[in-house]
Chain A
Amino acid sequence: NAGVTQTPKFQVLKTGQSMTLQCAQDMNHEYMSWYRQDPGMGLRLIHYSVGAGITDQGEVPNGYNVSRSTTEDFPLRLLSAAPSQTSVYFCASSSLFGLAGSYEQYFGPGTRLTVT
Chain B
Amino acid sequence: EDQVTQSPEALRLQEGESSSLNCSYTVSGLRGLFWYRQDPGKGPEFLFTLYSAGEEKEKERLKATLTKKESFLHITAPKPEDSATYLCAVGAGGTSYGKLTFGQGTILTVHP
Contacts and interface: CB of A to CB of B under 8 A. Distances in A.
A115 B96 CA distance: 28
Given A50-B97, A109-B42, 6 more contacts: A4-B43, A33-B98, A42-B103, A100-B51, A103-B100, A105-B34
A53 interface: no
Nearest to B44: A107
Interface residues on A, range: 20 to 34
Contact of B105 (A42, A57, A94, A110): A42
Interface centre among B42, B43, B102 (most CB of A within 10 A): B43
Contacts of A57: 96
Contacts of A40: 104
A115 B42 CA distance: 20
Interface in A51-75: 56-59
Interface of A: 4, 31, 33, 40, 42-43, 45, 48, 50, 56-59, 90, 94, 99-110
B31 A107 contact: no
